[in-house]
Structure 1
């Protein structure tokens, strides 16, 4: 994960927190991968043409604009299977790197891989083992001047408070782990641009991730996050949860993982700083996290506060280990967890209650027992008036009503659909690679090419994915899918600075639709499989990738072909169902929450009495649309009552 935050702010460290006042935020677990294989001379070639409109000739019938996309879950990423399929000669690889239990002594020197997010590179540095405690090896980077007494103090807090509390609530990390050693490794380093991280790369042998350190490791920027400080110990608690969560469910979405990591710090050390950043921020998405710096800390706070609320009102701390091990991810995982505990409520119900509790902070379901919470009111309507607002998906906007001293009607109007992608896809739709963390989506087709045919794979592609961390590949298999050759296209990136790629693939942004043509003549006279594959890393994902007008004319595969086999890919018309939760909240001595019921057109209204002395009227609008990251606009109207 790569999460960058200012050292002066709470260290919300599922990943990395920026130092020296930087506000850049990018979330992800640092990963490494096998190096790129050289391109054979017989490998297919490609050419590129950028287009802004679909081809004039289209063979598909227009999509019904009243039908929204039906989504399926994308399969979880399996790095062992991917390595076997994409890296020649890999074979079967053991998960472990040591046959016997190992233990190390103070004075040992080791070289470790580290991540430099500012320069997007991985480098090596030497460390000395300076302290051994029952559950951890404490390393110090050579040249780093630290107070060993303060490090011993934090190590004592870790052993006596953090480790027993966090593991009792959430479960254990992988122990003895990939290295067959029961100790965690705490690397105190001078990290560039970050304060601390946990990297799942290190949980794999180098045959899977060549730049793996092959140990369970927590990295801390001890130059800025000083041992002996409360902040240093909060980093430890937060990152320990990530190590535990990876072992319990290595494909969980960022917002759940980070929310529980913040909750871990709160449970062990009573740390709640990130929550206040969320409460002071403009409407912030709980689900969709940024791939840039804007709003990152508020996202941590949103996830933290939601997990506080969920834990307090649905199952308590005793239920958290079950939430970690729940196979479902994101909203589906929360729904399954609630059902398993016997609750009728689902995520949407909890989200609605949470929205009201963040304003009222009252008793029971409308508040928190151990937190003082007061969400920022970011809008107002004075008198009889109308306002429009735009908010992210899975965010809440609070608007105070300041009417006259007479009854009035509160009206709401919102769209019934939202675009899935921030780009037009044309009238015929496209194949979208889905979204999520640690996913592996594929779109495949069997191809029989005539002997001597001049054949090409033609398609248009649009993508907006996390640069250097997530990749889309175009692949060919000559052995019925046992192994695949990654085809270098004109727009694919041969660079792999973080080690997250398996070969040249699409990453970053295409800056519009791009026409690609890949020569398949090398395979003429035989049967092959062609595949598009979207693989994401552990944390943070963007809008994804879409392919349209895919054809292989020489094989009779035209743009309207229905025989593509999708696993995770979804054919979309770029429309998703838009839902809203609209609540009128009355604050004061006798708080009240009223639901504004919406019809099939997302329109609704209620008659409201003017507030009494000491009361406030606040409208909470929550936006919920599956999969899309596109914001939505709605209208609130205050008009005279009858």
Structure 2
């Protein structure tokens, strides 16, 4: 929710091909200077960092080519930027925002395409990334004004990456330190670190055309995501992509050549937090929120002809997504990822053929539905002699 309405005096300090830049008079030549305006216009109209998908294009061109054209309620093709002190509202600090109310008639509407930007160092990379983020929201409004918040924020976060601004890395670190935070929530708040990783992953996994088609898909959330997959004849489904994303977040910094489990556009600053077991057997309980994840790591000492038997108990087994990751001592072999399908409240399954080369097994635990509170589960793990039962392998 943006700050409350207020009236202020502002002056146009620069005009570009695609933008007017207004600055509130109280911050001009106090927080905001001529060189800030020049850099903002140049970045929006002409050029982005070398890390963008095309440094010879500005934010406007990259994002309109990716997502589509912005609305135009005022019959003026330029976007308005208003730079002022946004401050804090109801416990939230604002770096920038887009108000949909400006796209409709009413006494509280400016009736124009306008982005509100904070005046604290407005032309640094962080705030240029905010422009990309908010511009995606403006474009998205044109095609799907009722889009779910988590998906809209994911697309705004990847808009920053496309334009060369990996400036929300601290939010990624916060998420990786607490992955029991939902990507998809029933509440208004979202985890921006999770959204950045999800948006970047689907861009790399499904292609840049998928992003534009997703924006133009009228259905929201998971249904809209699946509709877009179907319309593009992509065989994957949402749950498969989501599960592979959870694995990619764990394996990104590990050895491996499977692009399905790696990021190309960004580097993850840390490995996700895990619950680590250094000895076996173990018996524990856990709880995980919907569309969040727990990583349970079992260090395997040098064993021969052994399997890891895991017993998993929950009241709603059909809601769980379970994957097993095996990593090897040689630091060369690709990690092996296996799917586990639960069908009973208490289910035992084996991770086989550990041998002398396997150094760790990671159990990836998630719930494929939004929840108001975390879902409880319990599990045990112990080493046993090998048997013939095998899991499905990717």
Q: Same fold (TM over 0.5)?
A: yes
- The reply to whether residue 190 of structure 1 matches residue 190 of structure 2 is no
Asked if 2 retains the 8 angstrom alpha-carbon contact of 1:584 and 1:595, the reply is: yes
Alignment coverage as a number of residue pairs? 351
Cross-structure match for 1:344: 235
Q: Report the structure, 1 or 2, having the larger helix content.
A: 2
Are the counterparts in 1 of residues 283 and 380 from structure 2 also a CA contact under 8 Å? yes
1:582 match: 322
In structure 2, the residue corresponding to 1:343 is in which secondary structure? coil
Partner Cα separation in structure 1 for residue 138 and residue 351 of structure 2: 51
2:246 corresponds in structure 1 to 355
1:46-125 pair list within 5 angstroms: 115=3, 121-125=4-8
| Residue 379 (structure 1) aligned to one of 275, 280, 292 | 275
User: What corresponds to 1:366 in structure 2?
Assistant: 261
Indicate the SS of the match to 2:5: strand
Supply the distance in 2 between the matched residues of 1:212 and 1:178 (Cα, whole angstroms): 11
SS in 1 for 2:326: strand
In the alignment, the residues of structure 2 paired with residue 385 and residue 614 of structure 1 have an alpha-carbon distance, to the nearest angstrom, of: 18
Deviations 1:508-528 (A, max 9, x none): xxxxxxxxxxxxxxxxxxxxx
- Cα gap change, 1:165 to 1:607, in 2 (>3 Å): closer
Question: 1:280-429 to 2 correspondence within 5 Å?
Answer: 280-288=177-185, 291=188, 299-314=191-206, 316-361=207-252, 362=256, 363-373=258-268, 375-381=271-277, 382-403=279-300, 405=303, 406-416=306-316
Asked whether the 8 Å contact 2:126–2:165 carries over to 1, the reply is no
Partner of 1:558: none
Per-residue CA deviations over 1:514-556 (Å, capped at 9, x if unaligned) read: xxxxxxxxxxxxxxxxxxxxxxxxxxxxxxxxxxxxxxxxxxx
**Pair 1:148 & 2:148 matched:** no
What is the rounded CA distance, in whole Å, between the counterparts of 2:64 and 2:124 in structure 1? 22
Stretch deviating more after TM superposition (405-414 or 197-206): 405-414
Closer/same/farther in 2, CA of residues 151 and 633 from structure 1, 3 Å limit: same
The yes-or-no answer on 1:132 pairing with 2:15 is: yes
8 Å Cα contact 1:410/1:608 also seen in 2: no
Q: Are residue 615 (structure 1) and residue 359 (structure 2) matched?
A: yes
Give CA-to-partner distance per residue, 1:10-49, whole Å, 9 cap, x none. Answer: xxxxxxxxxxxxxxxxxxxx4xxxxxxxxxxxxxxxxxxx
Q: Please report the TM-score for the alignment, with normalisation by the length of structure 1.
A: 0.52
Matching residue of 1:252: 147
SS in 2 for 1:125: coil
Distance 1:378 1:367 in 2: 19
Is residue 2:240 matched to residue 1:240? Answer: no
Q: SS where residue 124 of structure 1 aligns?
A: coil
**Counterpart Cα distance in 2 of 1:167 and 1:611:** 53
Sort the Cα spacing of 1:370 and 1:132 in 2 relative to 1 into closer, same or farther, 3 A. Answer: closer
- The CA distance in 1 between the partners of 2:177 and 2:41, in whole Å, is 34
Secondary structure in structure 2 of the residue aligned to 1:407: strand
| Aligned 8 A contact 1:162 1:269 in 2 | no
Report Cα offsets for 1:62-94 as digits up to 9, x if no partner.
xxxxxxxxxxxxxxxxxxxxxxxxxxxxxxxxx
Contact 1:200–1:246 (Cα < 8 Å) also in 2: yes
In structure 2, relative to structure 1, the CA distance for the partners of 1:635 and 1:354 (3 Å cut) is: same
- Answer whether contact 1:195 1:220 (CA < 8 A) is retained: yes
- Measured after TM superposition, the shift of residue 156 of structure 1 is 0.9
Tell whether the 8 Å contact from 1:384 to 1:403 is kept in structure 2 after alignment.
no
* Paired residues for 1:216-227 under 5 Å: 216-222=113-119, 224=120, 226-227=121-122
Q: Residues of 1 paired with 2:345 and 2:284: CA distance?
A: 19
Residues 135-163 of structure 1, C-alpha deviation per residue, up to 9 Å, x if partnerless? 11111112112211222112111111211
Separation of aligned partners in 2, 1:125 and 1:341: 47
Q: 1:602 to 1:416 in 2, by over 3 A?
A: farther
CA distance in 1, matches of 2:296, 2:205: 26
CA apart distance, 1:629: 2.6
* TM-fit CA distance, 1:282: 3.6
CA contact (8 A) 1:597 1:605 kept: no
CA contact (8 A) 2:198 2:245 kept: yes
Larger radius of gyration: 1
**Cα drift, residue 353 of structure 1:** 1.2
Matches within 5 A, 1:562-641: 579-588=319-328, 589-590=332-333, 591-601=335-345, 603-610=347-354, 612=356, 615-625=359-369, 627-641=370-384
Provide structure 2 residue ranges, at least 5 long, that are not aligned to the other structure. 47-57, 89-93, 386-394
**For the structure 1 residues 370 and 190, does the alpha-carbon distance in structure 2 shift closer, same or farther, using more than 3 Å as the test?**
closer
Which among 158, 176, 201 is matched to residue 101 of structure 2? 201
Question: Structure 1 runs of 4+ off > 6 angstroms?
Answer: none
Deviation at 1:368, TM superposition (A): 2.3
2-structure distance, mates of 1:159, 1:367: 32
- Asked if the contact 1:377–1:400 (Cα under 8 Å) also holds between the matched residues in 2, the reply is no
**What secondary structure, in the 3-state scheme, does the structure 2 residue paired with 1:639 have?**
strand
